[in-house]
A and B are shown apart, each in its own frame.
Chain A
Amino acid sequence: MSEPTPIPVAEVAVLGTPQLAGEAPPSALRRFLSGGTGRNLGLVIALAVIVGVGALTAGDRFLNFENFLTIVRAASIVGVITVGMTFVITSGGIDLSVGSVLGLSTVVASTAAVQAAAKETSWLLLVVVAIAVGAAAGFVNGIVIAYGRVVPFMATLAMLVAASGLAELISDRKTLIINNTDFLNFFRGGLLGVPALIWIFAIVAVAGWFLLGRTTFGRRTVALGGNYEAARLAGLKVKRHIVALYVLAGATAGIAGFMMMGRTSVGTSTHGGGYELDAIAAVVVGGTLLIGGRGTIVGTVFGVLIFQTLINIFTQNNLSTSVQAITKGVIIVVAVLLQQRFAARGSRST
């Protein structure tokens, strides 16, 4: 999830941190807590604490708008994947293939043939191809899981291996350079001072939040994860729905793929390596139950931001990636322990 980030010059020192630190007017805070996102209080506190640590250790280098954008921009690619992952995990599944599917999508979309066609038509063709490759891989996952009755862990593990092999085969283990200037320019630009990557992440996150919480698709996803047998006996099209969920996860991997192409201006089979684990960690830390039945996109976004903010702080303090990894591991365990506490307190029996 990390990348070397240039340390921006402190310029705009306004960051939304006071609010995160709980110093906002109580009415707003209370409204926030009593809402559907009230469960995310722990995440707000965690993020506030981390931001506090960043402010203390790195001072203005950390606490400025440019750095805030840097963090979110770095979080955006894996962030898009976590949105798809949240759906799959909420339904009681898992998708280990997203990282290597991301790599495959960048390779396919960067091939000479696709780039040539894009030159003839529009740079958007690269985007469409990347998403289509991701969705197709997800479709295969879904079919194998729903109709072949292979457990999601194994089916997507197989896809992880196969997709990265296919990506190596297509790219001949070479890094494919993208020379479509329209495409690259789009990612260099932004809107209202916010980079394109962040916009894409925001759009995907809001769309995911709406889809999960406000639509029949989301409701069915939760039902599937909460009680598969009950969902089946209630007459839901469970198999078709499972396929749709993995197509969705694959498509988000494809979106993350073209974002990666835009950021690095290359397509390679090594893109996205290990992203599946970062995504799963962020989803679980965000409060989505790994066994399914409860999912939260808001929590997931917090999860991604918590990890990325940490990475940023570590980088600013010149700490090694090894220390980062250890800290990530500790955070995952602590988050799950806290979740279990809450779950235990919530249950009751007579």
Chain B
Amino acid sequence: MSVNLCLVIVISASICYVLGMVNGDTGTSLLSMRGIVKGFSGVAALKGVDLDVRAGEVHCVLGQNGAGKSTLIKILSGAYQPDAGEILWNGEPVIISSPFAAIGLGIATMYQELDVVNGLTIAENIFLGHETATMGVLNRRRATRETRELLTRLGHGDLSPNREVGTLSAAGKQIVSMARALSHDTRLIVMDEPSAVLDAEEVRNLFRVVHELTAQGIAVIYISHRLEEIRQIGDRITVLKDGMSVASDLEVASTPTPELIHLMTGRTLEHAFPPRPGVAADAPVVLDVEGLSLRATFADVSFQVRAGEVVGLAGLVGSGRSEILEAIYGARKPTAGTVRLGDRLLKPGSVRDAVSAGIGLSPEERKSQGLLLEEPLYRNVTLSTIARFARLGVLDERRERRATAEQLDALEVRPSNPDRLAGTLSGGNQQKIMLARWLVHGTKVLLLDEPTRGVDVGARAEIYALIRRLAEAGTALVVVSSEIEEVLGLADRVLVISDGRVIETTDASAIDEHGVLDLVMKGTAA
């Protein structure tokens, strides 16, 4: 299978419940959902979903954003009640009336936003709500012992049960979340995009843990935006589209990827990445970063970006990629080094100065760092430029709406209604709103941190095309992504980052994913 095609899949934002290896004895379903329907104030989120999970197996549910993934999870976890349809658990009809009831049945859910309490220790988190206590007096020693057993079972016996959870990485918190699931008598674990916050090594570890869980007879429902992960650990797949299950119980091994994409989107995607015409030799240098350093994070980062060029920063999570962007943008104050935009030397640590000079940032966490979710689109789009839409401080909202509508049309956000609330948009459209903000501003340099995180299959291709169009219009772009293939596919030039240092600068076409990983491994070892 061609690398490109794989990429398409990887990129395809989708929903995937991976049901594990059949390890056993029985052919009856552990969980069986039949004709599940759920609507919200007249809008149907699920129109008829069937899902079949066997004990100890792994099964994928794929689907684009809005296909009904979150709703299905919330019904399973007891947060929502279906309007119609039935749920069989071990062949018995059940009603999952609350999250408490779900836990009682043996269904545990690991949400994307991990629900651990940072101020408590690992042991306290794991036994939160079902503390080991005698007559209300906590039995710490027993909790500590059982926590250690659970962590060992997950291959993390090295973690101290008394460590504060806030000091753990995302991967560590995930382990705690899983240990908590196991601390109940759990038969099924729903994992909502667990790999989103992990780097390659941590994902491998996660897979090992998933295998161990399924080997113990526990079913794992695994959701990922990365289709290649399904190839690695999934067995069967159910595809959701527009709130319905359009295909059920496909064998992972015998289902070709293009078919999956076709099922999810109703069309076949062939070229994910637009062609790169190359940067004109005489294109002026727009962004000049020299010797940029941030104590204990990255050091001596120097590079230039020319007008019309896309520079990618590739590296693992924690290599300092995002922090470099933030330091260029002034959101962090560098301890050394300079950033120039054309001839202008930017004031270190001043977002204000960077923005007025013409740098825009689309942050990694669009929802928490970029958008006003409760506000209409036009207010999000004009946030950095509101002074331009006002006379003596008095706003002209009609002009704001008009300018926003133009951008929405140009970026193909449908429907192009500037009064919609930002929170109601899909991930792809939210990303476009961030781009629109800077397009209205007229920035010369765009810094894109994880531009396709949470963006579904079809929209990803659109975002790629947009990035290329911006470059062709003369914008200088810097792109950071945890998906190395994405960086390589989008960028003209790639900087490989390891441990906060640029260890290689090369043409994107001159290196592949293995090459990057190779460099990263060596760089880390050195």
Contacts and interface: CB of A to CB of B under 8 A. Distances in A.
Contacts of A293: 372, 374
A233 B331 contact: yes
B393 A232 contact: no
Contact of B395 (A214, A234, A294): A214
A71 to B, nearest CB: 32
B395 A229 contact: no
Contacts of A234: 355, 383-384, 437
A181 interface: no
Contacts of A229: 368-369
Contact of B393 (A217, A231, A235, A237): A217
Interface string B402-429: 0000000000000000000000100000
B6 interface: no
Interface centre among A216, A227, A230 (most CB of B within 10 A): A230
Interface string A19-61: 0000000000000000000000000000000000000000000
A122 interface: no
Interface stretch (B37-45, B127-135, B143-151, B302-310): B37-45
A263 interface: no
B68 A350 contact: yes
B437 to A, nearest CB: 7
B48 interface: no
Interface string B335-369: 00000000000000001101110000101000011
Contact of B41 (A217, A235, A345): A345
A258 to B, nearest CB: 26
Contact of A227 (B74, B371, B384): B371
Interface residues of B, number: 38
Contacts of B45: 349-350
A348 B41 contact: yes
A219 B368 CA distance: 18
A232 B332 CA distance: 12
A215 interface: yes
Q: Is chain A's interface secondary structure helix, strand, loop, or mixed overall?
A: helix
Contacts of B383: 223, 230-231, 234, 236
A119 interface: no
Nearest to B375: A226
A230 B352 contact: no
Nearest to A230: B370
B71 interface: yes
B283 interface: no
A217 B133 CA distance: 54
A319 B143 CA distance: 57
Interface centre among A229, A230, A233, A350 (most CB of B within 10 A): A350
A216 B390 contact: yes
B137 interface: no
A328 interface: no
A226 B368 CA distance: 10
A75 interface: no
A129 interface: no
B332 to A, nearest CB: 11
Contacts of A216: 386-387, 390, 393, 395
Interface string B37-80: 00011010100000000000000000000101011001000000
A219 B387 CA distance: 10
Nearest to B389: A216
Interface centre among A220, A223, A230, A234 (most CB of B within 10 A): A234
Contacts of B355: 234-235
A232 B395 contact: no
B525 interface: no
Contact of B372 (A217, A223, A232, A350): A223
A255 interface: no
A222 interface: yes
Interface string A206-229: 000000001111011011001101
Given A233-B351, A235-B384, A349 B371 contact: no
B173 interface: no
A294 B437 CA distance: 21
A49 B361 CA distance: 51
A2 to B, nearest CB: 36
B379 interface: yes
A222 B386 CA distance: 13
Contact of B351 (A214, A219, A227, A235): A235
A233 B395 contact: no
A236 B370 CA distance: 12
B373 interface: yes
Given A219-B386, A232-B351, A235-B355, A350 B66 contact: yes
B394 interface: yes
A350 B371 contact: no
Nearest to B372: A226
Interface centre among A235, A293, A349 (most CB of B within 10 A): A235
B379 A219 contact: yes
A215 B386 CA distance: 9
B373 A227 contact: yes
A346 to B, nearest CB: 9
B223 to A, nearest CB: 14
Given A215-B393, A235-B354, A349-B70, A230 B386 contact: no
A348 B329 CA distance: 34
A215 B372 contact: no
Nearest to B326: A233
A74 to B, nearest CB: 33
A294 B351 contact: no
A147 B355 CA distance: 21
Interface centre among B41, B331, B387, B394 (most CB of A within 10 A): B394
A214 B390 CA distance: 9
Interface in A246-274: none
B390 A230 contact: no
B258 to A, nearest CB: 26
B331 A215 contact: no
Contact of B374 (A226, A232, A233, A237): A226
A219 to B, nearest CB: 6
A215 B43 contact: no
A233 B387 contact: no
Given A216-B393, A233-B351, A294 B374 contact: yes
8 contacts: A216-B390, A216-B393, A222-B372, A222-B379, A227-B369, A293-B374, A349-B74, A350-B71
Interface of B: 40-41, 43, 45, 66, 68, 70-71, 74, 243, 329, 331, 351-352, 354-356, 361, 363, 368-375, 379, 383-384, 386-387, 390, 393-395, 424, 437
Given A222-B379, A231-B383, A349-B40, 4 more contacts: A227-B369, A229-B368, A230-B370, A350-B71
Q: Ordered nearest first, which 8 A-B pairs have the shortest CB separation?
A: A235-B355, A226-B372, A350-B45, A234-B383, A234-B384, A348-B40, A215-B393, A216-B390
